[in-house]
A = this chain, B = another copy of it.
Amino acid sequence: MSIRAGIVVTGTEVLSGRITDRNGPWVSQRLLEIGVDVAHITVCGDRPRDLAAQLRFLSDERVDLIVTTGGLGPTADDLTVAAVADFTGRDLVADPVMRQTIESVIRGWRKYDDVLPDAVVAAIDKQALIPAGAEAIAPVGTAPGVAVAATDDVPAILVLPGPPHEVHGMWPAALATSAVEDAIAGRDSYDQHTILAYGLSEADLAVSLRRAEGVVEGFDELEITTCMRGGELEIVTRFESSAAQSYRDLEELILTRHGDRVFSTDGEPINEVLARLLGSRTIGTAESCTGGMVAAALTDRAGSSAYMLGGVVSYANDVKSGVLGVPEDLIADLGAVSEPVAAAMAEGARRVLRSDIAVSTTGIAGPGGERPGKPVGTVCFGLAIDGRPTVTVTRKFPGDRGAVRRLATSAALHMVAGALRE
């Protein structure tokens, strides 16, 4: 029996496109991981009527669980709890334990007199209201979560705050409420596996999947989705435990046909793969068109100081020469976007940073700057590894300035990983 959920993201700033919602995707991934199927995500502004309509829609679609995020703050446009109370036909009642918790959080922030200002008391009172009979979930910030059990008429509803770190912090307690536990009790046990490849096109994978359809027994039991992102092809397969052998056969077929392109069979991102491949070796960067993005990607991972020494962003040619020691003649003769300059940048970075490995980027991110034979999107890479000859490559990436910079950053990381795998 499949358990289905719907997610309601509230907030005018999300609906109007001014901020990117991070809660819908996060909650969706967590639900999928535990075997709950997500049918719909809906986004609405801070308008009670639209929020009520979305709750009604999901209820009519017979989802087993609705998860809402946002709208739990102290101000008048934070109306999710009231809307859920109204929708489930419950009164709002004060929860004295939560009221106490919120007050002590707020007193911890700021020295107040014994008597709190009226506005603060009003804010605490509002956030301590929950629908009668619902379970309150202790706040991570100041807003408690709420879990309302399913009835014959409405599905279970889990009400979470808006700030992502509060959602993440509250999630384990939210899953442990009896309202949510009951709602998802009948879920299937699903496995989900992720294969990541670089330099493999969706079209080429499609050919392999058609082949798999003919030779992998139980292929139809596998729910496969693919997605291209930053030059990486992500192949995600969900299946019930009974189809595990079919998945193993599919994975073997993909590895046989595209093993040289696959860098991860367990969803491990390139950053982690790279950390493992580096072992005890250190790395540094020399960046022009990516302007620090390769270094930022390498330092994104906690613990990266064990191998990442640093980098030089040599955006100006004077910095390429002055700091990295790229010969000025080379730049004058061949242009800054050339493989010899990329090689000299990588070697210069190794020397200056004293790293075992250095990777470099120099290219034309656009929109301007194209040269004869070097259209916008052209990027040269250099890779210097202790004890090996320096290698270079030139790539041409599609898209706007942002896309070219992202694709070049990804390409630099994969160039290093590819060389270390050899």
Contacts and interface: CB of A to CB of B under 8 A. Distances in A.
Interface of A: 12-20, 24-29, 32, 38-47, 50, 53-54, 57, 61, 75, 165, 206, 225-227, 229, 234, 236, 284-285, 287, 290-296, 298-300, 302-305, 308-316, 318-319, 322-323, 352-354, 365-368, 398-403, 405
Contacts of A322: 352-354
A302 B16 contact: no
Q: Classify the interface of chain A: helix, strand, loop or mixed.
A: mixed
Contact of A296 (B19, B292, B366): B292
Nearest to A44: B40
B41 A42 contact: yes
B309 A311 contact: no
Contacts of A206: 75
Q: How many copies does the complex hold?
A: 2
Contacts of A57: 53, 57
A319 B353 contact: yes
B42 A42 contact: yes
Most chain B CB inside 10 Å of its own CB: which residue of A29, A227, A294, A405: A227
A13 B225 contact: yes
Nearest to A367: B302
A131 to B, nearest CB: 24
A72 B47 CA distance: 32
B24 A17 contact: yes
A133 to B, nearest CB: 28
B40 A54 contact: yes
Contact of A16 (B38, B293, B353, B402): B38
